[in-house]
Amino acid sequence: MSTFDNATADRPIGLTAPSGIDRAAHHRLDEAWLAAAWSHPTTRVFVVSGGQALIDDTPEGGTELLMTPSFEAPLTETHRYFLGTDEKGVRYFALQKDSLPGRMDQSARPAGLREAGMLLGPRDGALMAHAVALENWQRLHRFCSRCGERTVIAAAGHIRRCQACGAEHYPRTDPAVIMLVTDDQDRALLGRQVHWPEGRFSTLAGFVEPGESIEQAVAREVFEEAGVTVAEVEYVASQPWPFPSSLMLGFMARAGASEINVDGEEIEEARWFSREELTAAFASGEILPPFGLSIAARLIEIWYGKPLPKPGGAA
Ligand SMILES: [Zn+2]
Cis check for the bond before 311: say yes or no (omega within 30 of 0): no
What is the signed CA dihedral for 31, 36, 41, 43, rounded to 10 degrees?
Answer: -30
Distance 127 CA to ligand 1 centre (A): 30
Distance 144 CA to ligand 1 centre (A): 5
Q: What is the pLDDT along the chain (315 residues), one digit of tens a residue?
A: 344 444 444 567 888 989 999 999 999 999 999 999 999 999 999 999 999 999 999 999 999 999 999 988 877 768 999 999 999 999 999 999 999 987 666 789 999 999 999 999 999 999 999 999 999 999 999 999 999 999 999 999 999 999 999 999 999 999 999 999 999 999 999 999 999 989 999 999 999 999 999 999 999 999 999 999 999 999 999 999 999 999 999 999 999 999 999 988 889 999 999 999 999 999 999 999 887 888 999 999 999 998 888 876 444
Distance 139 CA to ligand 1 centre (A): 17
Same CATH topology for 25-140 and 173-304: the answer is yes
What gap in Å lies between CA 79 and CA 13, rounded to an integer? 30
The one-letter amino acid code at 188 reads A
CATH number of 173-304: 3.90.79.10
Distance 106 CA to ligand 1 centre (A): 46
What is the signed CA dihedral for 221, 227, 229, 234, rounded to 10 degrees?
Answer: -40
What gap in Å lies between CA 122 and CA 65, rounded to an integer? 11
Distance 168 CA to ligand 1 centre (A): 8
Q: Where are the domains of the chain?
A: 25-140, 173-304
Q: Name which of 120, 129, 42, 46 is nearest 86 in CA terms.
A: 42
Distance 169 CA to ligand 1 centre (A): 9
Distance 157 CA to ligand 1 centre (A): 18
Distance 247 CA to ligand 1 centre (A): 27
Report in angstroms the alpha-carbon separations of 39 from 35, 64, 77, 119, 128.
Answer: 6, 22, 18, 29, 21
Distance 164 CA to ligand 1 centre (A): 5
Q: Which CATH architecture has domain 25-140?
A: Alpha-Beta Complex (3.90)
